[in-house]
Amino acid sequence: MKALITGASSGIGRDMAKNLARRGYDLVLVARDKNRLESLKEEILKYNSIKIDLISIDLAIEENCKDLYKTVPDVDILINNAGFGDCGNFTNTDLNKELKMIHTNIIAYHILMKLYLIDMKAKNSGIILNVASIAGFMPGPLMSTYYSTKAYIVRISESIREELKKEKSKVQISILCPGPVDTNFNKVANVKFQMREAKSQKVADYAINKMLKKKFYIIPGIDVKLAIFFSRFIPSKWIAKITYKVQKRKLKN
């Protein structure tokens, strides 16, 4: 059994790789940082006798996503995890960074999911886990692009799930929707969370466990579950006001 994980060099992706290695899965680990990938491979192989392939590419480039599929044409699990955010007023944030975010957080997910899903449907087996966020369920002023990218992942995953159900396919799709997690995300997004952050390894272990139990919505933490639940009943304009205040507090000075 083989699992491909994007954004595998740090955070949740790194810790999901460790979890799957303990379960005996061969791994294809994808990220930009080759040195971190090498360090992760060395760490995993100290305790696990599995095959690990490392691919250092930038998934913000569309052709790299297509080349990745050509290089690794057959996997049992695809984990779309690569992504980053940014914080600030929409007219003040960097356009080029936002476009790269859209390519990484949406287009890379879309390309890989589509290409691998076609193969999985043909053999009628396989799992896709898309890492979304609590942000995918609500408006996100001061992080508008990031929240919007995660909303795309939530909606397209929900839509594909229904298609698979109607076709009676055995292919599984799941979405991981955590709240704040203690990862490198904060540094890249230029934010400092004021609320409690979940531990990356704990979120990763929870995600893999629920994924293998065929859960679609994977939501770690009762506080995050409640936030998503109540967001369905509160008008978006109110949620936007609340979110704005939260984002304002966590902007780094």
Catalytic residue among 18, 150, 210, 250: 150
Beta strands in 57-131 (DSSP E): 77-80, 127-131
Could you tell me how many residues make up the chain? 253
Q: Strand, helix or coil at 184? A: coil
150 tagged catalytic: yes
244 tagged catalytic: no
Catalytic residue among 69, 109, 116, 146: 146
Residues 6+ apart with CB under 8 A from 131: 7, 12, 13, 79, 80, 81, 83, 153, 175, 176, 207
Residue 234 CA to residue 174 CA, distance in Å, equals 25
What is the token pair recorded at 172? 């599984």
Active-site residue list? 146, 150
